[in-house]
Amino acid sequence: MSNQVVVKTEELPKAFLEVHPHNLYLYCKAYASGLRANSAQTKNRSAVRGGGKKPWAQKGGGRARAGSLRSPIFVGGGVAFGPSTDKNYSQKVNKKQKKLALYHAVAEKVANEKVFVVDSISLESGKTKDARAFVNGLEQRDVLVVKEMIDDQTFLAFRNLQNAYLIEPNELNAYLVAAYHSIVIERAVWEKLTKES
């Protein structure tokens, strides 16, 4: 591991500093909505077991007519208005808005001095204790580690750490940047991210 460099706000391109924070809110909201499993389910009167026989005669008993004990008005009956099982919770976010959200999330981390740029992130030993020593040396609550290409040994080293998450640049998004306390990123990835178009 090489020496870390804490990135300062003034080092960021102008595009990162002029983003409205609402873009980050919209992206995180859409990201969280996309994680919803939509697994809520209830049984309506046709799906509940039993209720085939008419419970009592239509007339003469003095009670309201009833065709099945599995009607929603009876205990043990079906649910009248249960949750929809085919609802789609995903929300659309434009490509430009995703980019702006990432810019704002990164700018916030830089403003708080929570971005560490290193020349390379490589743990050839593949041992978790080495990865833990690296993370603990940063003295941060938890870290998002961004490596240009993840090799097998580095993956094994970081895999079981609860306070570190190792990703490649194509997985980097505003939600992850906002969720983690700090970011450790390789210099090549950082330069590509902050390169002004």
| Digit-coded pLDDT (tens) for 40-79 | 889 999 999 998 899 999 999 999 999 999 999 999 999 9
* Domains assigned to the chain: 5-15+94-194 (3.40.1370.10)
Q: CB of 166 within 8 A of CB of 154?
A: yes
- Which H or E element spans position 154? helix 152-159
The pLDDT score that the predictor gives to residue 68 is 93
The pLDDT score that the predictor gives to residue 154 is 92
Q: DSSP character for 83?
A: P
Look up residue 75 and give its amino acid. V
197 pLDDT tier (thresholds 50, 70, 90): very low
Q: Look up the pTM and report it.
A: 0.78
12 pLDDT tier (thresholds 50, 70, 90): confident
Buried b (16+ CB within 10 A) or exposed e, 5-31: eebeeeebeeebeebeeebbebbbebb
Q: DSSP character for 152?
A: H
Q: Is residue 87's pLDDT more than 90? A: no
Q: Is residue 109's pLDDT more than 60? A: yes
The pLDDT score that the predictor gives to residue 13 is 87
The pLDDT score that the predictor gives to residue 194 is 87
- Which H or E element spans position 167? strand 164-167
Please state, for a pLDDT cut of 90, what percent of the chain lies above it.
64
The pLDDT score that the predictor gives to residue 9 is 65
| Digit-coded pLDDT (tens) for 157-174 | 999 999 999 999 999 999
DSSP string of 96-130?
HHHHHHHHHHHHHHHHTT-EEEES----TT--HHH
Mean pLDDT value across the chain: 90
